[in-house]
DNA sequence: AGTGAAAGATATCGGAC
DNA sequence: GTCCGATATCTTTCACT
């Protein structure tokens, strides 16, 4: 999908304020409300805008444990990668997952409520993934910043 | 600020859909629209809900480079930590920053447009931080999942 | 691609219970 | 906390360019 300048402007504004009204948005980008809304819907249906969310300081009533997990694969066929990544996408505790340079290493950022939940995740999900050679977990003592939107 | 069950429910729903209408929200949590809106405003003004944002696949027109950077400190006085973290908060390219178990290691997730921008960030920000002993950067080849909201 | 009008839905207030 | 009413604003569709 290709974005023109107006689309980029819309995306920028909606990243800055996801609850901006379509009317304000239209005025800011110099379109009529209907034309603007059509673009927003296309961006949503085209997968550029995946959704909207509230930015919350304490995501739940309970504490969160952040675990950074490095997973090394010993098999790297496309089928294994696809199955691995499909499983990752199905696991909501996995916040981020990146395929890193170097070897076939994935780095995962995982959020769970407590150590027991991580143990469950480790046993029932991570260790059962196909082609996994090694799993190495590091725990966060403290969150300095998290999930920021990045530069606008 | 203390959240009761209804507040937690509101937060959960607004994290799942930041553009949910107040009428739907009120119905879902079992309150009248006015009572619900009052709670939402209190959550916003009390800093629990910091804002709303669109979840975007390609935040800008350009590609993004994701770098995971591990920073080892050689001094760990509170003053150094505070100065380090204040600098981190001032840098919008830093998406996540965690203090990890083990040594005085911070892990940063950084998003930049290209390698040149990372080099600039490395030179002008990271390497100038106080008390830094070592900086180790790993680059992401591919993003499997990123910035998901976590389990609801 | 864009505009503009019209209908229905929503937000947001004030006040009463 | 609830409900109700009033008003302004917004969303959404439709017809048209």
Quickly tell me which residue has 């980008």 as its tokens.
A29
Residues B68 and B40 in one domain: no
CATH code at B19? 1.10.10.10
CATH code at A127? 3.30.70.920
More confident residue, B7 or B57: B7
> For B71-100, what is the mean pLDDT?
92
Residues B38 and B69 in one domain: no
**A35 CA to D17 C1' distance (Å):** 14
Which pLDDT band, with edges at 50, 70 and 90, does A59 fall under?
A: low
Residues B130 and B66 in one domain: yes
In total, how many domains does chain A have? 2
> For A148-152, what is the mean pLDDT?
82
pLDDT at B116: 95
pLDDT at A61: 52
- Is 90 exceeded by the pLDDT of residue A130? no
Residues 12-31 of chain B whose Cβ lies under 8 A from any Cβ of chain A: 12, 14-19
Inside any domain, residue A51: no
pLDDT at A131: 87
Helices (H), B17-147: 22-29, 33-45, 78-90, 115-124
Q: Report the sign of the C-alpha dihedral through residues B8, A56, A122, A99, in that order.
A: positive
Q: Is the CB of A31 under 7 A from strand C?
A: yes
More confident residue, B62 or A20: A20
Inside any domain, residue B54: no
pLDDT digits (tens, 9 = 90+) for A76-93: 888 989 999 999 999 999
B109 touches chain A (CB under 8 A): yes
Residues A13 and A79 in one domain: no
Residues A66 and A103 in one domain: yes
> Which of B41, B46, B98, B140 to mutate: most A Cβ within 10 Å?
B98
Q: Give the range of the structural domain holding residue A32, as residue numbers without chain letter.
A: 5-45
| Partners of residue B151 in chain A, C-beta under 8 Å | 92-93, 111
A3 CA: distance to closest CA in chain B (Å): 7
Residues A67 and A124 in one domain: yes
Q: Give the whole-angstrom CA distance, residue B29 versus residue B21.
A: 12
Residues A70 and A131 in one domain: yes
Please report, for residues A18, A56, A97, A106, B26, the alpha-carbon distance to residue A142 in angstroms, rounded to integers and kept in the order given: 28, 17, 20, 22, 34
Which pLDDT band, with edges at 50, 70 and 90, does B90 fall under?
A: very high
């Amino acid at each position: 999908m290709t974005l023109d300048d107006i689309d980029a402007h819309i995306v920028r504004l909606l990243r800055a304020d996801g609850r901006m009204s379509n009317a304000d948005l239209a005025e800011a980008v110099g379109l009529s409300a209907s034309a603007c809304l059509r673009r927003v819907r296309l961006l949503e249906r085209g997968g550029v805008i995946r959704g909207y969310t509230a930015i919350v300081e304490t995501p739940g009533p309970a504490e969160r444990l952040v675990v950074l997990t490095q997973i090394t694969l010993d098999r790297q066929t496309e089928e294994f990668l696809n199955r691995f990544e499909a499983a990752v996408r199905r696991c909501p505790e996995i916040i981020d997952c990146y395929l890193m340079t170097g070897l076939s290493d994935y780095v995962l950022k995982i959020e769970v409520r407590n150590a027991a939940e991580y143990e469950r995740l480790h046993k029932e999900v991570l260790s059962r993934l196909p082609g996994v050679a090694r799993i190495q977990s590091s725990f966060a003592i403290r969150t300095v910043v998290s999930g920021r939107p990045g530069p606008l």
